[in-house]
Amino acid sequence: MDFCYDDLLKRAGEQMPEVSIKKERLELPRLFITTVGMRTIISNFGEISNILDRDPQHLLKFLTREMATAATFHDARAIFQGKFQRDSFDRLLQRYMDSFVICPVCKRPDTQLVKEKRLFTLVCNACGAKSAIKQI
């Protein structure tokens, strides 16, 4: 019985099960945005901050600085001064996740913000990496 390595490899590859499409673990729900006059309200802002495991005030501070507007957080809702589109919030939330949630070493969302003296560091619970993050 002579077996060629390439034939055996091909046969083993055919017997392997199909690999499912990788689904991201951290999925944000769709933002519930309503515009009332000159105010934009995100109804599920508390849920978003809970999923990201971040303080709602920290997330709100980031968004207000990036959008150059005032905002308040009350009853799990964020109220922004001005009219804003959903895509701008989606883009800013993605930037927030890249900067303050996703570990730069292992690319996992299992992180927490730790304040050491005056600086915040991003500590990964998955790989143990500590990364300095910029001030908001």
From 40, 28, 100, 35, select the one nearest 64 (Cα to Cα): 40
pTM above 0.85, yes or no: no
Could you read off the pLDDT of 98-117 as tens digits, one per residue? Answer: 999 999 998 888 899 998 88
With 0-12 CB in 10 A as exposed, 13-18 as middle and 19+ as buried, what is 90? Answer: middle
pLDDT at position 42 over 60: yes
Average of per-residue pLDDT values in the chain:
88
pLDDT at 22: 43
d(CA 90, CA 87): 5
Domains of the chain: 29-101 (3.30.30.170), 104-136 (no CATH)
With 0-12 CB in 10 A as exposed, 13-18 as middle and 19+ as buried, what is 103? Answer: buried
d(CA 107, CA 97): 11
Residue type, 120: F
Residue type, 64: T
